Each structure stands twice: as C-alpha cells, then as structure tokens.
Structure 1
Amino acid sequence: MTLMFRPSAPLHRTLLAALALTFATPALAQEGPQGARSTQVGVIELSQSDVPYTVTLPGRAVAFEQVDIRPRVAGVISEILYQAGRPVRAGTPLFTIDGDTYAADLKSAQATVDGAKAALEAAKATYARYKKLETTSISTEDVEAARVAVAQAEATLSSAEADRDMAQLNFDRTQITSPISGVPDMATVSVGAIVTANQADALTTVTRLDPIYVDVKESSRQMLEHRAMWEAGTLTRADQVDISLTLETGETYDRKGSFVSPSTTVSSTTGTTEMRLQFDNPERKILPGQFLRVETTLGTTRAVLVPQRATTRGSDGTLSAFVAVAGKAEKRTLTENGSYQNAWVVTDGVKAGDQLILDGLTNLQDGSAITTVPVTIDAQGVVQDAPATDTSAAGN
C-alpha cells in the first residue's frame, strides 16, 4: 500500500511564495530606484586647466656639414691615411697622390724663377750704368731701351713666380686633406688607383654629425589655424618654444632643439612649408637620413583633459565618451585638439564638473542606468577607487 502526502492548500501557497521570493531577491538587488537594472561604474570629475599645446610633426635628419672629397690633381693614390668612422679634424690628411712628377715640376719652376731674378738684376745694372752715362757717351734711346728691358725682366720674373706658385699648389694638392671636422666614410678607391682632377666620383665623404639638423614639414593650413588661435586668445604663446625629439625606437631624445630657419615658401605640390631645427648630437644617436618625430610645444590652451582609456574612436573617426547624468550613462561626441600625456585635449563635448565614466564601460549603452563610484587614474592609466576621504569630501 502506497502512502502519498498531500499538503493542505494554505501550506502549498506558503511554499510557493517562499520559493518565488528566494529566486527574486538577487534580481531586486540589481535594480535601481526606478526598478531598472543598474551598472556600477567608476567616475572622475572633469576640470578645466591650462594644457600645453603640442604639435607633432614628421622630420628627417640632415647633416650639419657634409663634403665629398675629390682630387684636384691627377695621379696615382699612394696612401690612404685615415680610418673610416673615426672622427677627423679640419686639415687632417686623408689621401696621398704620388707627387714625384709635381715635385719635379716645382723644381723646374723654381729654376725658372731663379733665372728670371738673375736676368732682372742684370737688366737693372745695365739701366743704372746707362743712366749715369746718358749725358756723355750713351744716347737717350739706349737708356730708354735699358729701362724697357728692366720692365720686361720684371714681367718675366712675375710670370715665373706665378708658374712656381701653381707648381707648388699642385704639389701640395697631392696630399688631400679634410676641409671640415667630421666623420669620414669608407674610401671608394684603393692604393694604386688612378684619379683625375675634379673627377665626378668622390674618394670619400666627410660628415659633421654634431650638431645635426632636423628638417620638418608643416601644412600651411595648420600654421594659419595656429595663428588664428593666437589672435583669438584661445592659445597663449609660450615665451620660448619647447622642441623635443622622438627617435625611431620610440625613445625620447634627452636634448632639446632650437629653430634655425623657417621657410618662406609653401610647396605647390604638398601644401607644406619646411622648417629647419638643430639638436646637439655628441653621442651620434641621430644620423643623416633618419626619420624622426618632432614635438613642438607652442604654448598653452584652456581645455579639459579626458583620459584616452575612457574614450572610443568610431569607424568614421568620431571620438566619444560616457558621462554620468542623473543616474544614467550619456554618450557624448568629443572635439579633440591633440593629446597630452595619456589624455585627449578636449575643447567641446564635455565641460568642467561633468562626471566622466572611466571604469565599467564594457557593454555600456547610451541611457543605461548606472551607479557611480568615485575613482582615480594615475599617470600610467591605472584606475583605482578614490580614497575614503575624497569620497566623503565629494559628498559634502
């Protein structure tokens, strides 16, 4: 015989009510004051401040000085006197050309000079003797002829001295020296090679690397926008422009730059203007031809800094963020004017005093019910709960 237990009707209704209350309790805990499910989010209060206005421009390193070394006389390379990559000073010998022929030419030219000097002395002596005898046994015509002979001898001596000086110059040019201080490249010739005067191919190149130039290009439109900001007062010009450099590795160069010369023309093809900057380069970290990034701080602008981790960039390029308004998340479209450290410099879309949602953004939608918790963010972008003292102060 099977016994079956059937509760009475009042007891049955009591059990069902208890079960319903048990399963409903967690859901009710997540509901807001109006009965909608809310998401807990971390917020910070935005403030307006003077933000450095920095412009990032592409740049290319250019040698401060660079010279192609070419022979000025013909001959055979007899010595290579330098080591590639080792700095040299101006006047340091780099190559030697076999100078036997030029030495012989110099001796011959010097002998011609000596002969011209002797001829001049003889012509002067003759003229002096004729001058004394002019009123007795020597005619005026003979005296004049002697004077002309002296002038011709002087001209002959001058020509001989010029030839000797040229021979000396050619002999000196058999030793090729560096015209600047810098770092020589590898030689393009070897000992025994025949070279010609002023040939097209350089024997080597000497480059001065310290200091070094960096040429940057900026659009003419951007320059006009900066000028308009200065005139409107939204950008306060700095007393001295701060110029920093980022290397190809992403490392920030530890030396500041200075302006050398701005361009006075705009490229008709790219619409950009070129400026030249100068950086000290004692460790030779920067080499000609490298592509770099230059950050120029033009002054300060009054704006709101919005941490980049709180924003999203749409496929159309629009920047947006969420702010807390009356217990709901409100999506805002931001207008940014560059970045500073880990934040966007925002000029429109949010204002000082807005509660920016910084944490709990996953699956957050416009209009979602939220519960706010004060948080902080450090320079590395790490978000933490605000200290209890800050929370109490905010509540007051």
Structure 2
Amino acid sequence: MKVGVWKAICATLALTGSVTMAIAQGGPPGSQGAPSAPIEVGIIELTLQEVPRVVTQPGRAVAFQDVEVRPRVGGAVEEILYTPGQDLSVGDPLFRIDDTSYLSTVASARASLATAEANLPVAQAAYDRAEQLTGRGYTEAEVEAARAALAEAKATLDAAKATLEYARAELSWTTLTSPIEGRADVATVSVGDLVTVGQSDELTTIVRSDPIYVDMTEASARILSVRKSIIEGSLKQNDVLQATLLLENGDVYRGTGELVTPGNTVSTTTGTVTIRFKFDNPQHLIIPGMFVRGEIVLGTMQAYLVPQRAATRGKSGRLAVYVVGDDGTARQITLEDQGSYQNAWIVREGLKEGDRLIVDGLSSIRAGQAVTPVPAIIDEDGIVHDADTTAAED
C-alpha cells in the first residue's frame, strides 16, 4: 500500500517538472517557441536634401532713438504743447517756459549792439584823422591811441553781436521742441512748475521705435562652431544675414530684420555676444524693452530631416531612432543632431539615402522586432497618415 502511494507521488512530480520545463522553453508541453507576428509600422524614406541652418536666440527690443528732454533755460512752465502718445516730428513744440526775463535780455543786448555800432564810425574817423595829421599836430603816441580805440570799438561791436545772438538763442530755448521723430511720454511737470538749467529730472521722454533694434545673444562657442562649418564647406553661408521674430504671445512678426552689427566683444560673465538687428516697425507692435525670440537663417547644408515625433533623446543628449533593417526587423540607432528645422531634427551623419525611418507604431516595437513597413506621410500638425490613403483622398 505504501509503495503504491510513493509511486503515485513520484509520477506527479515528474509530470510537474516536465510541464515547468516546457513553459520555460516557451510553450505548453508538446509545443515549440514560434516567432511573434510582424507589427505594422509607418515609415518614411529619408533623402539627403538642402536644409536651412536656423538658430533660435533670445532677444530684447531696443529703441532706435531714445531722448530725455531737459530744459536749457530756467523758469516757470507756462504751457504743455503736445499730446502724449502722438507721433512727433523734428521741431514740434513740447513745452513753453516763461520768457519775460529772456525778452528783457534780448532788448538789452540789442541796445548794446546799437551803441557799439554808433561808436565804431566815431573811432574810425578819429583814427583816420590822426593818421593823416601825424607829425602835424598829432604825435605818434596819439596815433597809436586812436588805433587802439578803433580796435576796441570793433571788438565791442563783435561782443555785442555775440551777446545778442546768445540772448536770442536763450529766448528760443524757452520753447522746448522735439529733437527727433517719435512718441513722447506723459510730462513729468505741470503748468506752473519751476524748472532749472541742467536739472537731473527730465520733463518727458521721446522714443522712436520705427525702425527698432533687437539685440540677440549668442554663445561664443556656437559662433566658433558655425565659422568652422563655413570654413570646412559643410555650411553654405547666406550672402545677407536676416532674422525673423517670435513675439511674447507666440505670434510670428511679419517682417525681416537686417544685421546691424555682429558684436565685437564677449561678455565675461555669460560668455555670449550681442548681435543687433534692425526691423521695420510701422505699427509699433514691438515695444522697446519687450523680450522676443529671433530665428536667424545662417545658410544651408546637406542633411537629413528626422521628424521629432520619430526620435527620443537619451541621457547622453543624443537622438535614438528606429529604422527598418534589410532583414525586416526594427533596428535602433543613435544620432547627433545639428539643430532643428520646423518640426524635424537636422542630422548629417549616421543615416544613408533610402533608409526607412519608423515614424508610427513606436510604442509597440523593440530592437530586433519583426515589422511590416507601411509608407506614411506626416502632415503640418505632426499627425501621421498612410501614404496610400492620403493619395486616394487626393
């Protein structure tokens, strides 16, 4: 009886072991490990093409001209002659200062000039008479004295003219005018306020923002890299360096900027160079001090465009993509990008013409997975469509 029980237990253990071994080998007893079915994936064929080399940089708008208006003469403000925010031309009046004392100064200078003009002929006649009668009633000393009196009269006349000219200038300065085109801010003074010559507080500020400057910052290391690419011939530089702007609300500014200066110094704290562009700004959409992002087209290069949805970036910073190998399986490769263009990474090495890049079905595949490639198209919104379906709809 006991022998029969032990035989039954041993038979059960043997059966359990065989089942466990069969499961470890990939299936139930009697079955063999079959390869998984190929997975359909969307692919695009890569082609080497001419790609614009675009760099994106932070920037800040700077006024084309910015003037702080201060008085050149002192006195009480009698009138404010402009409306804040309106366009001004050169010479448009801004403020009027009490001119009573300056009118008096002009009148006094005019009287002094009249006196000097009246004295000059008298001195001239005295000198002419002394010179004619030299040795006949006039000594040499008297002639010299007459000559000196004439020179003094001429000098007095010149001084009177200069005094009158300056007095008239001061009188004209009692009306402050705009030195530039632009828009004036709200006045910091009111009618009746007393202003002085050379005061530190401005009466108003005038800003010209059409055109407008945009200062962009670029790392000096990238500048060296770009120059190296140009020298090696991998980057074909544009004849004219231009830029477009992305505003703070995400809108693309309609206008192209022209390079003003590429920058001459590197910041010792940030290691960046300030590059200045000039943009037309007729609608005053760009306000001085506004932060923007600039896209600068440096030139063109021969490269592959890898859709961003088809790539992931690892801890090393390199891109990882899947391509369909010659054996029909997914093969993962790592790539080094050279920046981006639109919705794609720019890649110059690691790919070849005709490579089938997997752009859809990536969540279900792994390296070595058998796949069935289906031609696909990526639209402007980054959505993948079957190429055959898209062609049938057209």
Cα distance, 1:233 vs structure 2: 1.7
SS of structure 2 residue aligned to 1:143 = helix
Q: Relative to structure 2, which stretch is displaced further, 161-170 or 297-306?
A: 161-170
SS of structure 2 residue aligned to 1:77 = strand
Is 2:392 the partner of 1:381? no
- Partner of 1:148 in structure 2? 148
Q: Mind listing any 5+ residue stretches in structure 2 that lack a counterpart?
A: 1-32
Cα distance, 1:173 vs structure 2: 0.8
Question: Deviation string for 1:263-282 (max 9, x for gaps)?
Answer: 22222221112221111111
CA RMSD of aligned residues (A): 2.1
- Partner of 2:242 in structure 1? 242
SS of structure 2 residue aligned to 1:179 = coil
Q: Relative to structure 2, which stretch is displaced further, 355-364 or 107-116?
A: 355-364
Separation (CA, whole Å) in 2 of partners of 1:51 and 1:141? 94
SS of structure 2 residue aligned to 1:60 = strand
Q: Mind listing any 5+ residue stretches in structure 1 that lack a counterpart?
A: 1-32, 392-396
Separation (CA, whole Å) in 2 of partners of 1:180 and 1:79? 20
Cα distance, 1:135 vs structure 2: 4.9
- Partner of 1:306 in structure 2? 306
- Partner of 1:48 in structure 2? 48
Opposite residue 381 of structure 1, the aligned amino acid is G
- Partner of 2:366 in structure 1? 365
- Partner of 2:277 in structure 1? 277
Aligned pairs (5 A) from 1:163-242 = 163-242=163-242
SS of structure 2 residue aligned to 1:384 = strand
Cα 1:322/1:132, change in 2 over 3 Å: same
- Partner of 1:344 in structure 2? 345
Opposite residue 340 of structure 2, the aligned amino acid is S
Separation (CA, whole Å) in 2 of partners of 1:182 and 1:126? 59
CA contact (8 A) 2:318 2:337 kept: no
Cα 1:248/1:150, change in 2 over 3 Å: same
CA contact (8 A) 2:258 2:277 kept: yes
Question: Deviation string for 1:122-170 (max 9, x for gaps)?
Answer: 2222223334444543434333322221111112222222222221111
Aligned pairs (5 A) from 1:260-339 = 260-314=260-314, 317-325=317-325, 326-339=327-340
With structure 2 as the length reference, what TM-score do the two structures score? 0.86
Cα distance, 1:82 vs structure 2: 0.7
Cα 1:120/1:365, change in 2 over 3 Å: same
Cα distance, 1:386 vs structure 2: 1.4
Cα 1:253/1:52, change in 2 over 3 Å: same
Separation (CA, whole Å) in 1 of partners of 2:219 and 2:390? 49
Cα distance, 1:372 vs structure 2: 1.8
Separation (CA, whole Å) in 2 of partners of 1:220 and 1:365? 40
CA contact (8 A) 2:44 2:356 kept: yes
Opposite residue 143 of structure 1, the aligned amino acid is V
Separation (CA, whole Å) in 2 of partners of 1:183 and 1:118? 49
Cα distance, 1:38 vs structure 2: 2.9
Opposite residue 386 of structure 2, the aligned amino acid is D
- Partner of 2:36 in structure 1? 36
Cα distance, 1:390 vs structure 2: 8.2
Aligned length: 359
Opposite residue 373 of structure 1, the aligned amino acid is V
Separation (CA, whole Å) in 1 of partners of 2:146 and 2:152? 10
With structure 1 as the length reference, what TM-score do the two structures score? 0.85
Q: Among the aligned pairs, what percent are the same residue?
A: 47
Opposite residue 42 of structure 2, the aligned amino acid is G
Separation (CA, whole Å) in 2 of partners of 1:44 and 1:148? 101
Separation (CA, whole Å) in 1 of partners of 2:390 and 2:218? 48
Opposite residue 306 of structure 2, the aligned amino acid is V
Question: Deviation string for 1:289-329 (max 9, x for gaps)?
Answer: 11111111111111111111112233553322221222322
Cα distance, 1:100 vs structure 2: 0.4
CA contact (8 A) 2:182 2:207 kept: yes
Opposite residue 158 of structure 1, the aligned amino acid is D
CA contact (8 A) 2:242 2:259 kept: no
Cα distance, 1:389 vs structure 2: 11
Separation (CA, whole Å) in 1 of partners of 2:152 and 2:258? 61
SS of structure 2 residue aligned to 1:362 = helix
Separation (CA, whole Å) in 1 of partners of 2:187 and 2:53? 47
Cα 1:255/1:389, change in 2 over 3 Å: closer
